[in-house]
Amino acid sequence: MFKKLKNNQFLFEELVKRDFKTKYKGTWLGMLWSVLLPLLMFLVMRTVFIEFFGRTVPHYTTYLLAGYIIFNYFSDSTKNGMRALRQNARIIEKVNVPKYLFVLAKNVQVFISFLLNLLVFLIFVKLDKLNITWKFLTLLYPIGMLLVFNVGAGFILSALYTFFRDMSYFYDVVVRLVSYMSAIFYDYRKFSLTIQQRFFINPVYCFIYYFRSVVIDGVIPPLWLHALIFFDALFVLSAGLYLYDKYNTRFLYYM
């Protein structure tokens, strides 16, 4: 896989550039929106939600935005990955290149946007009077694992979407359900310990919990959470690679 990626490095880089530029094509501010948009969104969310949910939650701004940027990255990455093959059907029909390149390119484009959102998030962390310490370096682990998880999910979804057009509608429902189960806006600590433990069934919540533990509480999560995140990411990636390996030659017939 990595050898093929290196051999097609030029195409991969051009796909990433194309996807990133296309997102802001025709706008006056262009790529400046990649920083301005999250800044405005965070300000709106901070203003609105703190009135309804944030009065009893310490550092609610950071609590809210940590959940939002993680979930938004997951949602954008998987939705874009799902449509990657069909959106590039003309290229796939004419050029013999590894099909996973298109999913990877979509993921890299969304990942760049996520990193920009993360920079804006750190500004709000400081405004929320939280200290940025060396423990923030441990966030590289959940970020890396979430990237792997999203790539794997993109492989699975793009394969299914190629065969089943209804997948896009069904996945919208799934994403909405995941958002409700991720404790983005509400305080999970209001639930019983049993319910709190059930939240960890949701992989996205695991990443959100990791971020909040480090940023808000200044605590590095226990080893079991590291292992759970690793297992989730590896399992989803393995499933995605399996589907691509098994059905790679059949994708073209359903474009």
In 3D, which of 18, 141, 122, 37 has the Cα closest to residue 80? 18
Q: How many helices (H) and strands (E) does the chain have?
A: 12, 0
pLDDT tens by residue, 31-80: 565 666 666 666 676 666 666 665 667 788 888 888 989 998 999 899 98
Are 204 and 145 in contact by the 8 Å Cβ rule? The answer is no
pTM for this structure? 0.84
Domain range for residue 157?
Answer: 2-254
Domain count of the fold of the chain: 1
Share of the chain above pLDDT 90, in %: 31
Q: What is the rounded distance in angstroms from the CA atom of residue 234 to the CA atom of residue 230?
A: 6
Which residue is listed with tokens 């999560």? 221
pLDDT less than 50: residues of the chain: none
CA 150: distance to chain centroid? Answer: 6
Confidence at residue 215, expressed as pLDDT on a 0 to 100 scale: 93
Confidence at residue 140, expressed as pLDDT on a 0 to 100 scale: 96
Are 68 and 118 in contact by the 8 Å Cβ rule? The answer is no
